[in-house]
Amino acid sequence: MIPGLSVPILSPAIAPNASFVRKDSGTYPGRSFYGCRILGLSWVRNNRPVRTLKSSRHRPDILQVGAWTMQRDAEVCKRNLFILFLIPTIGLLGSCSRQPAPPTSPDLMSVRVRKVHKINRPIAVSASGTVEAADTAKAAFQVSGKVIRVGVQEGEPVRVGQELAALDPVDYQHGADAASDQRAMAVSNLEQARVAYVQAEDEYQRMKKLYDRKSLAPNDFKKFEAAYLAARERYRVEAEGARGPDQGIAQAALKQAEAQEKVARKRVADTRLLSPISGIVARKFIELGDTAAAGNPAFVIMNLNPVKVRFGVPEADIGRIRIGQSATIQIPALEGANFSGKVTLVGVAAEPSSRTFTVEIKVPNPQTTLRAGMIAEAQIQTDKMINSLSLPGEAVVRDPQGVTLVYVYYPDQKRVHSRRVDTGSVYGQEVEILKGLGEQDWVVVAGQQRLTEGMMVTSLEDQP
């Protein structure tokens, strides 16, 4: 080893009875090195080099490293000596760079912490379901015809009785006029019967006078009397209805004519399609100029205020649910927005395939935020109470993978560490913590957005 260096210079094979040349003296006994070379250096034994890197044409010089004399070409030796001393210098600098930096006193971030709160809440029955309209109506024409007017489009609100579309009414108007004429004829038959009765009665009175004076034969008088009685009976039938075998023929004819006229008038009115309920046009199946068929749906109208959430409850939980219980509805499609409602229906028979009971929850929806077909997560508050933990909603953050977590403050370390939590229902400004925290944990509730794992902080609480 060369004094002052941390790396070995040689690892030679050693032989006895050898002498080496020193610059300041003669030859000394020592050990021989066979073919040893380090960084282009050659040892000299007995005034003769053991091994050189250059040919004999180069002029060797005598250089001293430590106590030994080495022989080497001048430029090559200088370069190698530079490398020889540069390597330990670099190693020394590298070892210095790995030394820990002296501790500094950075400015600590201030955060606000608090312990989790204990709350007494009812046990909730959770289930998944679908949002449905409170009322759904399929509006269809009662008669067929050509569409001459379409008054609404999909997504537009409508009122009950508002016109949705109309058909060409010409043909139906003609039918109504014909029915009106039939009724007029039935009324004219009564008038004819009255006139015939008056004439028959007048002739009968004149013939009776002749018969009483013995001026008219009995057989002739019987003819006039029969005609009079027939006219009177006809008039009575036309006016009041008969009491014999042909009871109500005339009156029935009049009523039939009136009914036919009403049907014809209704057909004319049915050429206008009116909304059966107030709501929103969900679907439209006709266009201007189409031929609409009677009974085929032309529009679907949905009443979305309120809406109902329909879902299935397992047999193990159905006994806890009652009509009128409060429920919380969460909609994943609306970024987890929560809505409140009440149970309005509890099924009495299980679905054969799923063995679940149908439950409906009515939810107010004045802004029509909820739409039919949305997936809903429902939690029904039962009558049984349990203890739970809660935190302010802003204390819960999400990592880049979307995992919910909080920052827990450790007073003895003055550091915060993230901890994954499972959240439950929302109670005002507080969110329920189902899993991940204990009652004695201190949680960061302000400043958590700027924290990182293990960061040292100062707490604003007087007694952290």
What is the domain-level CATH number for residue 257? 1.10.287
Q: Is residue 36 part of a domain?
A: yes
Q: Is residue 90 part of a domain?
A: yes
Asked whether 430 and 391 are in contact (CB, 8 A), the reply is yes
Q: How many domains does the chain have?
A: 2
Per-residue pLDDT of the chain (464 residues; tens, 9 = 90+): 444 433 333 333 333 343 333 333 333 344 333 333 333 444 444 445 544 434 334 444 443 433 333 444 444 445 554 554 555 554 444 444 444 444 434 567 888 888 888 887 777 788 899 999 999 999 999 999 999 999 999 999 999 999 999 999 998 888 888 888 777 776 666 677 777 888 888 888 888 888 888 878 888 888 888 888 888 887 777 666 544 444 456 567 777 888 888 898 999 999 999 999 999 999 999 999 999 999 999 999 999 999 999 999 998 888 889 999 989 899 999 988 889 999 999 999 998 888 899 999 999 999 989 999 999 999 888 877 777 888 888 888 888 888 888 888 888 888 888 888 888 777 777 888 888 888 888 888 887 777 888 888 887 763 43
Residues 257 and 176 in one domain: yes
Q: Is 461 strand, coil or helix?
A: coil
Distance (Å, whole) CA 173 – CA 387: 73
Residue with tokens 């006895």: 16
Distance (Å, whole) CA 9 – CA 72: 16
The closest of 267, 268, 266, 272 to 165, measured between CA atoms, is 272
Picking from 254, 270, 286, the residue at the C-terminal end of a domain is: 270
Picking from 97, 130, 152, the residue at the C-terminal end of a domain is: 97
The alpha carbon of residue 66 and the mean position of all alpha carbons in its chain are separated, in whole angstroms, by 82
Picking from 220, 249, 270, the residue at the C-terminal end of a domain is: 270
Q: Is residue 233 part of a domain?
A: yes
DSSP 109-154: EEEEEEEPEEEEEEEEEEEEEEEEEEEEEEEE-SS-EEEEEE---T
Q: Is residue 222 part of a domain?
A: yes
- Alpha-carbon dihedral sign for residues 368, 371, 372, 378: negative
Q: Is residue 277 part of a domain?
A: no
Q: Is residue 78 part of a domain?
A: yes
C-alpha distances (whole Å) from 208 to each of 201, 215, 225, 227, 234 are: 10, 10, 8, 13, 21
Q: Would you state the structure tokens that stand for residue 144, as one six-digit string?
A: 């067929």
Q: Is residue 19 part of a domain?
A: yes
Q: Is residue 56 part of a domain?
A: yes
Residues 92 and 180 in one domain: no
Asked whether 438 and 117 are in contact (CB, 8 A), the reply is no
Full residue range of the structural domain in which residue 75 is found: 14-97
